[in-house]
Amino acid sequence: MAINEIHTPVLLERCIELLAPALTPPGSVLVDATLGMAGHAEAFLQRFPELTLVGLDRDLDALAIARERLAPFGDRVHLVHTVYDGIGDALAELNMSEVQGVLFDLGVSSLQIDRVERGFSYSKDAPLDMRMDSTSELTAEVVLATYSEPDLRRIFQDYGEEKLAARYAKAIVAARDVTPFIRSSQLVDVITAATPVVVQRMGHPAKRVFQALRIEVNQELSVLERAIPAALEAIAVGGRIVVMAYQSLEDRIVKRALAGASGSTAPAGLPVELPEHRPVFKLLVRGAELASEDEKAENPRATPVRLRAAERLRRA
């Protein structure tokens, strides 16, 4: 089955609509900071015949798929193996000082979810890996084997917003003293056993723990905190950024960064706003846009998405 038959890009038409004013002029450059299997990238290259695309991804498997998929576009495509906070270095290597558009589609890619052996899913047994970049050293297995009980509790609380974080951390430390955690099913069994029956009825008890481990292994939040400002800095006047987040921790970081860039820096009480205090960006959507019911029905992975967008008004 072809990739484009199994991978439906989230909010594709809305992303195109928001970025189109910046990408229509000849010579425009779009950075797809989370390339994945290149569903969004391919559509943009087709819609904008004079567009150049820079695709970033930390996942070598995704880059291999994207390279094949985007081969028909030739030298209009530049692919870079990097985490998305490396956007500045990637553009410098390509001798690009600024770009007209940046797209982030955060979270776990379809490729990572669908390949069981990557260990991202709590519903299927697999090695406890969870690395988005197979060349990095930290895995979920290493986290579970080496982190202290307080550190495990912290990541479950901070990255999973898990109310039973302390209970789960204690259970994991006790279990690993008997048998090392190697497979995801072992972790699921320990978490389930430590979860009150009434809580189990509210959803899979391992969901938030797996999210927390994935975020820790890939340092997703700290990377995102660096990536959004770096992306904003790279955008030319009139250029635009679109970011799609899938959980509240990511969206909070994006919201804060875009709010800061789109706010006035004038001191409180100043009677007239001086030019240097005017906002550098303007927000293009009110709050965070959600997927429509039709979009959710067609593409269930769009259900939790929160989309934010902004346009550069001037150079700071």
Task: Give the pLDDT confidence score for residue 316 in this predicted structure.
Answer: 77
Q: Could you tell me the end-to-end alpha-carbon distance of the chain, in angstroms, rounded to an integer?
A: 48
DSSP assignment of 39-74, as one string?
HHHHHHHHH-TT-EEEEEES-HHHHHHHHHHTGGGG
Beta-carbon contacts of residue 65 (< 8 Å; ≥ 6 apart): 3, 37, 38, 111
| Strand, coil or helix: 243 | strand
- Give the pLDDT confidence score for residue 189 in this predicted structure: 97
- The answer to whether the annotation marks 219 as part of a ligand binding site is no
Q: Is 112 annotated as a binding residue?
A: yes
Structural domains present in the chain: 3-111+220-312 (3.40.50.150), 116-218 (1.10.150.170)
CB atoms within 10 A of CB 314: 12
Q: Is 39 annotated as a binding residue?
A: yes
> What pLDDT is stored for residue 111 in this prediction?
66
Burial 264-283 (b: 16+ CB within 10 A, else e): eeeeeeeeeeeeeeebbbeb
Walk along the chain (316 residues) and give the pLDDT tens digit of each residue: 344 445 689 999 999 999 999 999 999 999 999 999 999 999 999 999 999 999 999 999 999 999 999 999 999 999 999 999 999 999 999 999 999 999 999 987 766 666 767 788 888 899 999 999 988 999 999 999 999 999 999 999 999 999 999 999 999 999 999 999 999 999 999 999 999 999 988 889 999 999 999 999 999 999 999 999 999 999 999 999 999 999 999 999 999 999 999 986 656 666 666 666 689 999 999 999 999 999 999 999 899 999 999 999 998 7
Q: According to the model, what pLDDT value does residue 2 have?
A: 47
Q: How far is the C-alpha of 39 from the C-alpha of 70, rounded, in Å? A: 10
Is residue 179 within a helix (H) or strand (E), and if so which, with residue range?
none
> What is the predicted pLDDT for the residue at 112?
64
List of residues 6+ apart from 234 with CB closer than 8 A: 31, 87, 88, 91, 98, 99, 102
Q: Is 302 annotated as a binding residue?
A: no
- What is the model's pTM? 0.91
Q: Are strands 29-32 and 52-57 parallel, antiparallel or unpaired?
A: parallel
Give kind and range of the element (H or E) at residue 189: helix 184-193
Q: Does 200 show up as a binding residue in the annotation?
A: no
Q: What confidence score (pLDDT) does residue 80 get?
A: 98
What SS3 state is found at 79? strand
Rounded distance, CA 54 to CA 227, Å? 15
Separation between Cα atoms, residue 100 and residue 203, nearest integer Å: 42
